[in-house]
Chain A
Amino acid sequence: MIHLDHNATTPLDPEVAAAMGVALERAMRGGNPSSVHGLGRAAREDVEAARRQVAEGLGCDPLEVVFTSGGTEADNLAILGAARARARAGAPSGILTSPIEHPAVSAAARVGAAEGHAWITVSVDSAGRIDRDTLVDLVARHPEIGVVSLAAANHELGNAYPIPDWVAACRAVRPDLWFHTDAVQAVGKLDVDFAAWGVDLLSVSAHKLGGPMGVGALLVRRGLRLDPLTRGGAQERGFRPGTENVLGIVGFGAAVARSTVARAERQRHVRRVEARLREGLLALGARIHGDPEHTTGNTLNVAFPGCEGELVSMNLDLEGFAVSTGAACSSGSVEASPVLLALGLPPREAREAIRLSWAHTTRDEEIERLLAVLPGIVTRVRAAEALEDVG
């Protein structure tokens, strides 16, 4: 199977698996990181070593790393934890997002709104771009906003956003704002540097960069207090009570460390694949959604006019290619993607989308094979759909 669905999850890096294997051996002796005895200390050291790896890879202090169950929990903790803590402290607690954020952000903001925190969204254009001046104007005109949450890279489009630029511009008019960025689709692809970016909160997930599923982190700027989502322990400095996922955390640390190796070279390869794919897909008559200029380099959101994306992705699966539809297709519902609808696409066109996402491990010949099978698939899907229009 040719894996072109890296934004859903990346294959586990073999070196990460090896590091987890060592931790697994240790786990067979037991040891809770919170225990004072030797077994506990060994588990604690596993967690802390991983914390240092994450901190080093992402440009933060180890004390700023809060391990979570993944990106979704990190987003929820950032938005709800910040809004609730700010409201209790009497600070503005409103939330600003965009209409194309990951559901983990949008759904958390919706819960926040239901709790009484203001919620506004900044508009996006037909390529999913956000205008900096519009954003700055919004936060200046809305003193009730306390938390800005905008992704560093969009999960469906692969758009990359100038977070440091936005942070500086927003701070200039509203120094009291907390800025959260969901960097789940950015870490491992772009150079993410927590300190240099100047954000207060940053979400990251291990399985998008060669690590295991079920683990991630929220980076929390030192001195900032959040309301935890769960209660019942002092783990992760009280931000995230509950016994740590030691195995996952070890894998996460190893994955972050691995992702920094030869990064420039990897990025060059990924961008070369992007250029070849873009050229090849356009030659096949595809429509490409998103911002062509500012990208992660690893994602293309593509539509073949007249072809339901679901049928194209099933065909590709049968041909041995793993891709996803842009749509939220969990348990078989084909709602058009909210991201594409927010770009102003009519529902019919939004349902034509598929998402291709790759990594430095993707080989040139795999892309050529994809471009070779697509014309036949597009022809037969179009023929079958035309049949329905007639009948």
Chain B
Amino acid sequence: MRVVCAMSGGVDSSITAALLIEAGHDVVGMTMRLYDASADVRKGRGGTCCSPAEVDLARRVCAQLGIPHYVVDERSRFLENVIDPFARDYAAGRTPNPCTRCNQQIKFGPLLRRARALGATVLATGHYARNEYGLALRRAVDPQKDQSYFLFAMGRDALRSTWFPLGTWTKDAVREKAERLGLPNAEAPDSQELCFVPGGDYGAVVEDRLRALGLPTDALAPGPVVDTTGAVVGEHQGIHRVTIGQRRGFETRGNQKRYVLRVVPQTRTVVVGDEEDTRSHRIAIDDYRPLCAAGEHGRLEAWVQVRHRSPASRAVVEVSGNRARVCFDEPVRAAAPGQAAVLFDAEDRVLGGGWIAST
């Protein structure tokens, strides 16, 4: 059976391809070129996922595995659907989630279409999540690597046509296998940052893109930091450099911990408060999409995750159409507008998810 394997040049997708080959499939490697890293290379920064250096690595791995490899250009689609919305979100005081957008708009759309055009019935990726017979998406066996939070928006059609062979693997086992196979990327560090922001300076990316789009950049100027009483307690360097729940840089003089509670883009104000103030009891979700029948509508008891790397919390969710209201049993920390809220059942299956509209 022909399977197209999405190859980022990293060790996870390389092992995914190797596993499919071992299982006897007719594997075709495909790498998307997502952005131009040349500007960053000039500044002496290394690339991460899908920069030209990673594309070369993917090519090398496919040559070593003896499978065909194609590079496809998705730079303009990635710019329009991932980077630009990322910049707009920050300018509007939201906290964007570009990895979910990329999965939704790039990986399981255009890539799956190409896979089908090449006669493959299945697209495989190196995501850590379990796909149960195309019917349900479940958290990976390795809790440290689980990526199901980023995958909720992939869509049910894509779920039926996608494999995640690493869902039952641990990262350690993946690395061990890569070493055994002598893959060139066996020891490459995990990418911790956004692929299109290799130096980690996402504020600069936001500024560059807003200017390129001819959008106002007034919202990016320094502004006041106020406490919950409205008293000015400091200044920040632009709301796009601030994330809800962030602590660093907002301590009081007495080193008391303070957290960003919200951002008011109209007045460029950042509101800070105690950890207790960052907690939300209720959140509203926009653009809600069920990923299985159980997540479709009505009143659901679910475990809701509002940030990457934070545990899901028990809640009651009222789903009506493409909106959902979440009421947590215990308030959750740092739920931020723009972030994904993903609903799980008690056995870690994704019921659905959407984007936090308000907290």
| A331–B118 touching, CB < 8 Å | no
Interface membership of chain B positions 157-174, coded 1 if the CB is closer than 8 angstroms to chain A and 0 otherwise = 100000000000000000
| A332–B71 touching, CB < 8 Å | yes
Known: A311-B118, A332-B31, A332-B55. A388 touches B72 (CB 8 A): no
Q: How far, in Å, is B111 (CB) from chain A's closest CB?
A: 11
Interface membership of chain B positions 62-76, coded 1 if the CB is closer than 8 angstroms to chain A and 0 otherwise = 000000101111010
Q: How far, in Å, is B280 (CB) from chain A's closest CB?
A: 34
Interface membership of chain B positions 335-349, coded 1 if the CB is closer than 8 angstroms to chain A and 0 otherwise = 000000000000000
Question: Among the listed B55, B71, B109, B117, which residue makes an inter-chain contact with A381, where contact means beta carbons less than 8 Å apart?
Answer: B117
| B52–A331 touching, CB < 8 Å | yes
Q: How far, in Å, is A236 (CB) from chain B's closest CB?
A: 35
Question: Among the listed A310, A317, A318, A387, which residue makes an inter-chain contact with B116, where contact means beta carbons less than 8 Å apart?
Answer: A387
Contact of A124 with B by CB under 8 A: no
Closest to B110 in A: A388
Instruction: State the CA gap A140–B70 with chains docked (Å).
Output: 49
Question: Among the listed B55, B70, B117, which residue makes an inter-chain contact with A380, where contact means beta carbons less than 8 Å apart?
Answer: B117
Contact of A97 with B by CB under 8 A: no
Question: Among the listed A332, A383, A384, which residue makes an inter-chain contact with B114, where contact means beta carbons less than 8 Å apart?
Answer: A384
Contact of A385 with B by CB under 8 A: yes
| B113–A331 touching, CB < 8 Å | no
Instruction: State the CA gap A314–B113 with chains docked (Å).
Output: 14
Interface centre among B2, B55, B116 (most CB of A within 10 A): B116
When distances are taken between beta carbons in the complex, the residues of chain B under 8 Å from A387 are 113, 116
| B72–A315 touching, CB < 8 Å | no
Question: Among the listed A317, A332, A380, which residue makes an inter-chain contact with B119, where contact means beta carbons less than 8 Å apart?
Answer: A380
| A384–B73 touching, CB < 8 Å | no
| A318–B33 touching, CB < 8 Å | no
When distances are taken between beta carbons in the complex, the residues of chain A under 8 Å from B71 are 331-332
| A380–B52 touching, CB < 8 Å | no
Instruction: State the CA gap A383–B71 with chains docked (Å).
Output: 21
| A333–B73 touching, CB < 8 Å | yes
When distances are taken between beta carbons in the complex, the residues of chain A under 8 Å from B119 are 315, 318, 380
Q: How far, in Å, is B81 (CB) from chain A's closest CB?
A: 14
When distances are taken between beta carbons in the complex, the residues of chain B under 8 Å from A391 are 109, 157
Contact of A24 with B by CB under 8 A: no
Q: How far, in Å, is A110 (CB) from chain B's closest CB?
A: 20
Contact of A36 with B by CB under 8 A: no
Instruction: State the CA gap A369–B118 with chains docked (Å).
Output: 18
When distances are taken between beta carbons in the complex, the residues of chain B under 8 Å from A311 are 114, 117-118
When distances are taken between beta carbons in the complex, the residues of chain B under 8 Å from A388 are 109-110, 113
Q: How far, in Å, is A352 (CB) from chain B's closest CB?
A: 13
Question: Among the listed A314, A317, A334, which residue makes an inter-chain contact with B73, where contact means beta carbons less than 8 Å apart?
Answer: A334
Interface membership of chain A positions 314-332, coded 1 if the CB is closer than 8 angstroms to chain B and 0 otherwise = 1101100000000000011
| Besides the known contacts A318-B2, A332-B72, 18 further A-B residue pairs in the complex with CB atoms under 8 A apart | A311-B117, A314-B70, A314-B118, A317-B68, A318-B28, A318-B118, A331-B33, A331-B52, A332-B31, A332-B55, A333-B33, A333-B75, A380-B116, A381-B117, A383-B117, A385-B113, A387-B113, A391-B157
